[in-house]
Amino acid sequence: MAGQRWIAAAVAVVAAAGITAACDGGAAGDATAAKHRVTYRLTGVGEANQPIRIMYSGPGGETLETSVPSFLPEWTRSVTVQPGIPMITLNAGAPWTDTRYQLTCVMEVDGVEVARNVGPFCETWFKIADLPEVLASTDATPEG
């Protein structure tokens, strides 16, 4: 019985933390409170040994997945992420790739580049709440 109470208390703490984190994302003036146009761009140099697996954030923050041929010259996808999405990601790579194969992963939010990564495997992410800081540091004007 004590074990069940401990599990219930742990679940309540985790749930409360999740609710607090979700509420923090909607503060007035916070970039997460608005919709944003996100463009994911992937280019490759060389040829991978396997098809390239791509995972990226969808409109509701869900992970979407696709794959492209190993000789990928370029892949681009745009989505409009809904308010409240705290982070977007773009991950790509081929399972058994020759490391001389190079991918460039780029993410743009409202037409402004916010993240870039280069290598045989790309792991790129961006916190939407950081958008005002990126805009201020680049003197960029977002589209929209």
- Going along the chain from its start, the domains and CATH numbers come out as 31-138 (2.60.40)
Answer whether 53's CB lies under 8 Å from 93's CB.
yes
Residues 6+ apart with CB under 8 A from 99: 120
The per-residue pLDDT string of the chain (144 residues; one tens digit each, 9 = 90 and over) reads 443 333 333 333 223 333 333 334 444 368 899 999 999 999 988 777 788 899 999 999 999 999 988 776 789 999 999 999 999 999 998 776 566 778 899 999 999 999 999 988 899 999 999 999 998 887 666 666
Which DSSP state fits 82?
P
Closest listed residue to residue 70, CA positions, set 38, 108, 98: 98
70 φ, ψ to 5°?
-70, -15
